[in-house]
Amino acid sequence: MRPKVFVSQPIGPTALARLKAIADVEMVEDSSKIISKERMIEGVRGCDILLALLHDIVDKEVMDANPSLRAITSMSITPDRIDVEEATRRKLPVTVVPAMAVETTADICWALMMSVARRVVEGDNMLRAGGFPGAQSNHLAGGFVWSKTLGLVGGRGRIARAVGRRARGFDMKVLYQSRQRMTPEQEQELNATYVSLDELLQQSDFVSLHPNMTPETHHLIGEREFGLMKRTAYIINTSRGPVIDEKALVKALQSGEIAGAGLDVFEREPYIEPELLTMPNVVMTPHLGSAVLEVRDQMANVVIDNIEALLAGKPMPNCVNPQVQQG
C-alpha cells in the first residue's frame, strides 16, 4: 500500500508531481492562511508522513494524534516550531532544508528598507485615494538611502552578507556585529567594519537584523537598544520575529525614538501588535523572505528527497535528529 502524506499548504508543482508519484497526497489547497491546529491534527491522524511549512507548529499534541507517524518533514531551514526533543523521544525523524533563500531574503530586506525610508506604501495609498501632493511637495519627504550607514546585526551570516553586497551599489558605509568576525576577505569584499552592538546601534542609519534565533537572541533588540539608535534611523527585520521586543518597538515608534521599521517577521506570528497596523512609518510583509516561486519549488523538492530516502530505507539527508535513523 502506498504511503499517505499530509501537506499543510500547496507546494511547488515539480515537487508535488514527484510526491504524487510515490505517495497518496492530501494537501490543504488554501495558501492564503495558516491551517488551524485542529486541521493539522486531523491531517496528521490520517497520514504516514507530515510535510509541514515553516509556520506550522508541530508539538506533542500534534504528534499524539498519530503514534504511527513515520516522519515530520519540513520546508523550514531550522525546526523552530517543531518539538524536536519530543520527536526524538518517539524515534520520529525530523527533516529541514538547507539555506536556499539567501538572495531572496536579501531582496525583501532591501525592499523593506527602500519602502519605509522613501515612504513608498504611503505614496501608493495616497494615489489610490485620489491624492497627489505635488512633485516637489515635502508632504511625503523621507530618508536618504544613498551613502548612509548600514548596520548588520548577526553580520557574519550568509543573508547579512548578501544584504551587505547590495549596499555597495548605494555607496553605503557598512558596520557589522556578530559573535564571530568575518574573514578578512569577507570584510574586504563588503568594506565592512566590525563593531560592538551598541556602537552599531548608535552609528547606523539602517539597522538590519540577521541573527539566528536562540535563547540569547530572544528580545535582542528592546527598550534599551532602541534608546541607543538615532531618531532618524530605521530598523529592518527579516530574521525571526522574537529577536525584537515588539512592545518596545511600538513604544520607540510612538515616542519618535526611531524613524520607522520594515518588518517581514513578527514576534508571535501570525498575530501582529495592533498598534503596528496603524503606523504609517511601518512597512510590513507576511514573512515573504523565501517567497519566490523557483526557490519555494527547490525547497519543496529537497523535502521530497528526504521522503524518497525514507521510503527507500535510506538515511534522510537533511535529518536534524539522525540518531533515530540508526539501527
In Å, the largest CA–CA distance within the chain is 72
Check if the beta carbon of residue 181 is closer than 8 Å to that of residue 206: no
CA distances, 136 to each of 118, 132, 133 (Å): 14, 11, 8
Check if the beta carbon of residue 296 is closer than 8 Å to that of residue 104: no
Among candidate residues 18, 240, 246, 267, the one labeled active-site is 240
Q: What is the C-alpha separation between 240 and 64, in angstroms, rounded?
A: 28
For residue 67, which of 39, 89, 95, 45 has the smallest C-alpha distance? Answer: 45
Among candidate residues 18, 55, 210, 287, the one labeled active-site is 287
CA distances, 93 to each of 25, 145, 185, 280, 297 (Å): 19, 46, 38, 45, 22
Task: Calculate the CA 20 to chain-centre distance.
Answer: 28
| Residue 55 annotated in active site | no
What DSSP element (H or E) covers 63? Answer: helix 60-64
Find residue 152's DSSP bridge partners: 176, 208
For residue 100, which of 308, 305, 326, 322 has the smallest C-alpha distance? Answer: 305
What DSSP element (H or E) covers 178? Answer: none
Number of DSSP helices (H) and strands (E) in the chain, helices first: 12, 12
| Residue 2 annotated in active site | no
| Residue 240 annotated in active site | yes
Q: Can you read off the three cell numbers belonging to residue 166?
A: 547590495
Strands 71-74 and 260-263: unpaired
CA distances, 141 to each of 48, 76, 135 (Å): 56, 39, 11
10 Å CB burial of residue 74 (0-12, 13-18, 19+) is buried
Among candidate residues 269, 273, 275, 308, the one labeled active-site is 269
The residues annotated with a catalytic role in the active site are 240, 269, 287
